[in-house]
Amino acid sequence: MRRTLTTVLAASVALAATPYSTEIASWRTAYEASLKAPSGWLAVAGLFWLHDGENVVGSDPLSDIVTPARTAKRVGVLKLTGGSVLFTPVTGTPKTLQSDNPGPPDVVDLDGVAMTIIVRGGKLGVRLRDPEAQTRREYTGSHWFPVDGKWRFHAKWTASPPGKTITITNILGMTSQEPTPGFAEFDLAGQHLRLEPVIEDGDLFFMFKDATTGQSTYGAGRFLHAAMPKDGAVDLDFNKAYNPPCAFTAFSTCPLPPRQNALPIAIEAGEKNYGKH
């Protein structure tokens, strides 16, 4: 999801010459398409943490990694040894699997279900994506605030000293220190506001909360991408604020906004809480 947003943002740049509302509508359409894609967040159907040694994979409920019912009762075995994961299928050749850190992860096809290895907080896990997942089949579209240009800001940018980090905790309680390139400042409703991003896929990646969080917008906050700063400024457009993947699936490990990114005002722009509007 987070990586596919880079493609969506690139598409929005190509639309810069069109009327603003059309640009945002096209961006949102592309965003929803990325969610609904067979490899999108709506297809995520399982998350399992590996233990040292052999981890059985299959649809048998007693398996360590339980796959959808249409897959074989025993697909194979994942063996975790010293941070390395070897997959030995019931039929086929064993293979050591690359995780998403640093990535790109190897994708193992299990009768149409994609299996990848992820690393979070020093733990290795298995993520399953199933195009037939209920979350994907039942998705009817996201809900949005009306497009309004007042939520666009040409924010002042201040670069951080080399080595500066911020504390990021994910929804599972795992905490890490992530490099931050600086902070953006802007004024709204008589208040001076500040947000600190990390860098993702060559963009600034903001995780934030505001006074709508847990009300009209998702309770764990929202995300916003922006192009890298230029000439001491960065353009923020909250009409493109979107929900983290944990708004759609229980099998995500999405990062939560750092406490300094809790804005004391309502940002009534971007994506609303899924299923509540």
pLDDT tens digits in sequence order for the chain, 277 residues long: 444 454 444 444 444 446 999 999 999 999 999 999 999 999 999 999 999 999 999 999 999 999 999 999 999 999 999 999 999 999 999 999 999 998 899 999 999 999 999 999 899 999 999 999 999 999 999 999 999 999 999 999 999 999 999 999 999 999 999 999 999 999 999 999 999 999 999 999 999 999 999 999 999 999 999 999 999 999 999 999 999 999 999 999 999 999 999 999 999 999 999 975 4
For 62-80, how does the pLDDT look when each residue is reduced to its tens digit (9 = 90+)?
A: 999 999 999 999 999 999 9
Q: In the chain, what are the domains?
A: 44-130 (2.60.200.20), 140-261 (no CATH)
* Sequence-distant (≥ 6) Cβ neighbours of residue 183 within 8 angstroms: 157, 158, 160, 194, 195, 196, 197
- In sequence order, the β-bridge partners of residue 139 are none
At 22, phi and psi to the nearest 5? Answer: -70, -40
The H-assigned helical ranges of the chain are 4-14, 20-36, 134-137
- Residue type (1 letter), 96: T
66 is written with which tokens? Answer: 């339980």
The pTM for the full model equals 0.88
**Beta sheet of 182-188, edge-to-edge order:** 191-195, 182-188, 152-159, 233-237
Distance CA 230, CA 6 (A): 18
For residue 4, give the DSSP letter: H
277 is written with which tokens? Answer: 């509007």
Q: Length of the chain in residues, anyone?
A: 277
For residue 52, give the DSSP letter: S
Q: DSSP secondary structure string, 71-98? A: S-S--EEEEEETTEEEEEESSS--EEEP
Specify the pLDDT at position 275: 73
Specify the pLDDT at position 50: 98
Specify the pLDDT at position 276: 56
In this structure, the strands spanning 222-226 and 108-110 are: unpaired
CA angle 188, 193, 198 (to 5 degrees): 130
Assess contact for 84 and 97: CB atoms under 8 A. no
Assess contact for 69 and 58: CB atoms under 8 A. no
173 dihedral zone (left: phi>0; alpha: psi -120 to 50; beta): left
Distance CA 148, CA 8 (A): 20
Specify the pLDDT at position 179: 97
